[in-house]
Structure 1
Amino acid sequence: MPRSVPFVAGPHANEPHGHNIAQRLNWLRAGVLGANDGIVSVAATVVGVAGVTNAPVPILVAGVAAVVGGAVSMALGEYVSVSSQRDSQRALVDKERGELIGDPKAELAELAGLYEAKGLSAATAAQVAAELTDRDALAAHLSAELNIDQRDEASPWQAAYASAASFAVGAILPVIAILLPPSGLRIPVTFVAVLVALVLTGMLSATIGGSSKTVSATRLVIGGALALAVTFAIGRALGASGIL
């Protein structure tokens, strides 16, 4: 007979564990979104200007302005968004803490009811609630009622820095791609460089997040190609019309 293998509790491979998951996901979200926005938005800007003129100075000025303005905008947006999320979480934590102080018996019964609703027997639910309450009542209620872990509080400054830095890194690529080649190759080279970069960022985000690389890269490439084509067409139309 084959020998039984004792069960050993522990994290499974390739599964996220730990109290800093939210922070890592926040960094990932801000970084990937920042890089993609930097690549696409700045590429669309310089390609649109290149549709009007091949002169390098206007293209450079537009590119630099788009990089700086976009990085500041991304940082501010992430800071405000994550700050609002953090403030809402803190308000919920304070509310739960007050309820525990005001009526601990009712909160214990509520916690037991939550575990019973998840499928535990009344006796087991009461025992689990009591043991978790003895260990850390606030953490137990935050987890069961609100799915909140206080240690996972996101940092608005970290999100802002990550978003601004990744935007700037992504945005440098289209500026370089459109200025280095000869005037006749600027648009094709920029298109190729941007689409390749979007494939890479899409695959990277899918790898870290555990999703499909093909689906992620395809979405980004289609969106980026449409943005470049539309802005170039608008720039070319405005240039041909004599308005600019």
Structure 2
Amino acid sequence: MTELLNRPNADCPADCPGVADADVVTHEPGTGERLNRLRAAVLGANDGIVSTAAVVVGVAGATSDHTTIAMSGLAAVIGGAVSMALGEYVSVSSQRDSERALGISADLQVNPWSAGIASFLSFLLGAALPFATALLAPVAWRIAAIFAVTLLALALTGALSAKLGEAPVARSVTRIVVGGSLALAATFAIGSLFGAQVG
């Protein structure tokens, strides 16, 4: 079955005229799985950075209470990591079911468990940056520090994902940094408005 999938024309025998060795696409076992795990890790890191930063900057806009910010941030980190992992697991499970239905070799199928675990761990790593910044930065510089660390981290992951996907780096970085900036600005504005009304 793998040989048929790797031929340019599955109806054509391996030795039919016009089929050169260079035209035959080969895949190493596990290549798709490694790419799938890498994709899940990059998405998890990006989501961890943006969602956690948005929560802590929004709460910090409403209050300067260290405990409130810490508890809100921790809830965002744990809940977001579990949610991201579950979403990846379900999505990749559907993909694997389709691959099985198509008769793709088990060696070439994606693994939902590895995608979910990669997403969970990378979310935690990404979330750790804005979360630690919210806890450690001086109150006077907290908001600015969260913005700076978050946008720098997003720029780095945007460049990495562009390199991996062989896409234009500048466009990818701009897209993710602008999106992250809008998310932070929106949650900070809402938090500030809520804090002013409560105060």
Among candidates 52, 55, 60, match of residue 50 of structure 1: 60
1:195-206 paired onto structure 2 within 5 Å: 195-206=151-162
Matched, 1:77 2:87: yes
Q: 1:66 is matched with which residue? A: 76
Q: 2:108 is matched with which residue? A: 152
Matched, 1:87 2:43: no
> C-alpha distance in 2, partners of 1:186/1:152?
47
Q: Quick one: which amino acid aligns to residue 159 of structure 1?
A: A
Matched, 1:163 2:119: yes
> C-alpha distance in 2, partners of 1:92/1:190?
47
Q: Quick one: which amino acid aligns to residue 54 of structure 2?
A: A
* Offset, 1:151: 2.8
| Segment of structure 1 superposing worse, 171-180 or 38-47 | 171-180
CA RMSD, 1 decimal: 1.9
Q: Percent identity over the alignment?
A: 56
SS at 2:62's partner residue? coil
> C-alpha distance in 2, partners of 1:182/1:72?
30
* Offset, 1:150: 4.6
* Offset, 1:149: 5.4
* Offset, 1:17: 5.6
Q: Quick one: which amino acid aligns to residue 161 of structure 1?
A: I
Matched, 1:24 2:20: no
1:1-244 paired onto structure 2 within 5 Å: 18-93=28-103, 148=104, 150-242=106-198
Q: 2:6 is matched with which residue? A: none
SS at 1:25's partner residue? helix
Q: Quick one: which amino acid aligns to residue 233 of structure 1?
A: A
Listed one character per residue, the Cα deviations across residues 118-171 of structure 1 (whole Å, up to 9, x for unaligned) are xxxxxxxxxxxxxxxxxxxxxxxxxxxxxx555320000000000000000000
* Offset, 1:92: 2.9
The answer for unaligned runs of 5 or more in structure 2 is: 1-20
Q: 1:4 is matched with which residue? A: none
Q: Quick one: which amino acid aligns to residue 208 of structure 1?
A: L
> C-alpha distance in 1, partners of 2:149/2:176?
13
The higher radius of gyration belongs to 1
The answer for unaligned runs of 5 or more in structure 1 is: 1-8, 11-15, 94-147
> C-alpha distance in 1, partners of 2:78/2:134?
17
Q: Does 1 or 2 have the higher relative contact order (CA < 8 Å, sep 6+)?
A: 1
Q: How many aligned residue pairs are there?
A: 177
Q: What is the TM-score normalised by the length of structure 1? A: 0.69
